[in-house]
Structure 1
Amino acid sequence: MDITVHRPGELTAADRVAWTAMQSKAHLNGSPELANPFLSPEFTIAVGHWRRGVRIAVVREDGEPAAFFPFQRSITGVGRAIGLGVSDCQGLVHRPGFSWDARELLRACGLAMYEFDHLVAGQQPFEAGASGSFASPVMDIDQGYEAYLGQLKAKSPKFARTTHSKERRLERHHGAVRYVHDERDPEVLHTLMGWKSAQYRRTGRSDRFASSWINQLVRQLFHTRSDQFTGLLSVLYADETPVAAHFGLCSERIFAQWFPAYDPAFAKYSPGLILHLRMAEAAAADGIAYLDLGRGQKQYKDSLKTRELTVSEGSVALRHPAAIGHLARRAPVRALRNSVTSRPELFEPADKLLKRVGKMRSRKKG
């Protein structure tokens, strides 16, 4: 293998075309998850605008690109998946039949280790270092929205009926309900980010939008558009008032969910669920195969999903002091968090505690 490492701006136009072509053909080659927009050159290049150490390894065989491996590297050689902490799909994009040695790749990239938390399935050389695997629910719409709705009704007739009933009540009480699949008004994006920040605080979670680089990354991706990649803002309105919104990323075949939120004043109408059904309907019309709801246990995901993908968390490492030190700090924290989230008897009390802390914070700010 011939492996070269590049900064995002150094990637040639031909290599970008080859990368995108691998993603476009992934579903034909038995690896549809590789078409996820978080694995696209557009996402990597955007992260490179706001984070240091972003690099792309290009692996060639017989002079032609065989794989693309985006990563972030610290000055000590600790490697992380691109956008670790906000990216919901990670790994190496490759052509059919490509195999690699993880440690050989790390050495070529100048890495002591590579850390991931949403590793896409089928990456066996990296999966050898996985410490856990997790469900990532999806909504299959490749057979059309009506077929998806039929599956939903068969699984839970009451859920589908109740959600549509709440949409009718929302319209009766607050005016005509309107859905915009591709909203281009940046002020509405600002509204969504405000809702999401408030939700993080209310539930005791860390506010991602308090990080300037995430804030700027989302704004940049909102303006990123091509035939293969789009930052998509979808909004549900009631009498011209936004009541729920979502910002996510679209490739040719996958709509990756990212930042959904709604106005709490309309909570009794379940506007987030109404929004997701509208998104599925519009995405199906655009030829999208499925909506990836992302890793995490949420009741609304269980209600909307048709199946689950699997993503992994962990790391692969060389025998190197930087890797040993990093793992010594990170592994106990990760193990404790996963132990809590995977066990309902631990997760539910912890979740309630976080929400109580969140309410206390909100009162102080008020």
Structure 2
Amino acid sequence: MEGNDIAVYRPGELSGADRAAWTAIQSQAHLLGAPQLANPFLSPEFALAVGACRRDVRIAVVHEDGAPAAFLPFQRTAFGVGRAVGLGVSDAQGLMHRPGFQWDARELLHACGLSVLEFDHLVEGQKPFEATLLSTHPSPVVDLDEGYEAYLSRLRARSPNFVRRTLTKERKLGRDVGAVRYVHDERDPAALRVLMAWKSAQYRRTGRSDRFAQAWIVQLVERLFHTRTDTFGGLLSVLYAGDRPVAAHFGPRSERVLAGWFPAYDPAYAKFSPGLILHLHMIEEAAGASMAYLDLGRGEKAYKNSLKTRELTVSEGWVARPHPVALGHLARRAPVRALRNTVLSRPELFGPADRLLKRMGRIRSGRR
């Protein structure tokens, strides 16, 4: 990176020219051999939204020959420990860069004042950051470039019972509850609050940590809901039966990619599989809007396996400089992450762990 100029800014200090350059690099990425950079979690809007909700966000801008060549948003502690921006809620992380750009990871960390930088959803093609990866994970996607009817035909050929059951349940939902109506871009903030309440209840019911108990995540989702540009937006999709919302999803979209993020449904209507019905409508609308794919996100879920057409790969790990802070951080973090990933990747361990979490969730919510 010799000869490159690296400057680190607070989100509000990023110039309009730099932001426009970031957007232009992302818009052209799929044409220039880096389609993984089209993910909305790598957009400037997402980084700036996290920065508006957290005080620890910084953005490194690398200039090459006087022009912006790369952007790295991150979170930094006072001791120089770095985390990918939005770590824990971001499903795509890495350096946004123009084609052919080369970088030295340790030099970049030094310029950012970091001893270590941690990822849990590092996208493919980030070779300088791949030296100390702990693990790689599949991230299922639904390809949309051939249109919805072509997708549905492939899905029927692969899983005819799945498609038939889901469409039958949609008709039954309409008969038993009320006319089924799907809104791809719901603008009512009350519907967003309903979704977050469902999701919080689901987290508690299954023994997971409630993300919406963290104020900054609530603020982030609300901010993204109101963020709309030509190249980015927070998209709330809702399935109604009569006047009742029965399932919903909120996630960011870029020009080419819709990201699966927070799906949930009303458990009172679980027998109708409203979440699956919702996803089929989302896929149809996204295909009609010329999206390249729906990224369902890392994580083993039955509905993802049923809907996916292929898988991307995301990685977990960190890049570090020789530094006492980095050594101390890795000594604490590595065993925990390794243990968690072992449990998640082995069904004979995941099953008992999942049942224990759900039992704890029932106890915590006063149910047996």
Tell me if both proteins adopt one fold, taking TM over 0.5 as the criterion: yes
Distance in 2, matches of 1:320 and 1:273, equals: 48
Displacement of 1:241: 0.4
- Look up the match of 1:93: 96
- Look up the match of 1:327: 330
1:190 corresponds, among 193, 202, 224, to: 193
Unpaired runs of 5+ residues, structure 1, are: none
Matched, 1:265 2:268: yes
Q: Deviations over 1:150-190 (max 9, x none)?
A: 12112111111111111011011011000000000001100
Q: Secondary structure at the match of 1:137?
A: strand
- Look up the match of 1:143: 146
TM-score, normalised by the number of residues in structure 1: 0.99
Displacement of 1:312: 0.2
2:224 corresponds, among 221, 226, 236, to: 221
- Look up the match of 2:306: 303
Displacement of 1:52: 1.9
Unpaired runs of 5+ residues, structure 2, are: none
Q: Secondary structure at the match of 1:158?
A: helix
Letter in 1 for 2:275: G
2:27 corresponds, among 7, 24, 27, to: 24
Displacement of 1:51: 1.1
Letter in 2 for 1:104: E
Q: Deviations over 1:193-252 (max 9, x none)?
A: 000000000000000000001011101110000000000000000001000000000000
Tell me how large the CA RMSD over aligned residues is.
0.9
Matched, 1:102 2:105: yes
Displacement of 1:129: 1.6
Q: Deviations over 1:275-331 (max 9, x none)?
A: 000001011111111000000000000000000000000001011111111111111
Q: Secondary structure at the match of 1:138?
A: strand
State, as a whole percentage, how many aligned pairs show the same letter: 72
Distance in 2, matches of 1:199 and 1:53, equals: 29
- Look up the match of 2:162: 159
Distance in 2, matches of 1:154 and 1:178, equals: 27
Distance in 2, matches of 1:30 and 1:319, equals: 33
- Look up the match of 2:358: 355
- Look up the match of 1:133: 136
Count of residue pairs the alignment pairs up: 365
Matched, 1:313 2:327: no
Letter in 2 for 1:132: S
Matched, 1:81 2:84: yes
Distance in 2, matches of 1:195 and 1:233, equals: 14
Distance in 1, matches of 2:81 and 2:291, equals: 36
Q: Secondary structure at the match of 2:325?
A: helix
Letter in 2 for 1:77: G
- Look up the match of 1:181: 184
TM-score, normalised by the number of residues in structure 2: 0.98
Letter in 2 for 1:278: H
Distance in 1, matches of 2:182 and 2:271, equals: 18
Q: Secondary structure at the match of 1:148?
A: helix
Letter in 2 for 1:141: L
Q: Secondary structure at the match of 1:25?
A: helix
Runs of 4+ in 1 over 4 A off after TM superposition: none
- Look up the match of 2:203: 200
Displacement of 1:148: 1.0
Letter in 1 for 2:129: F
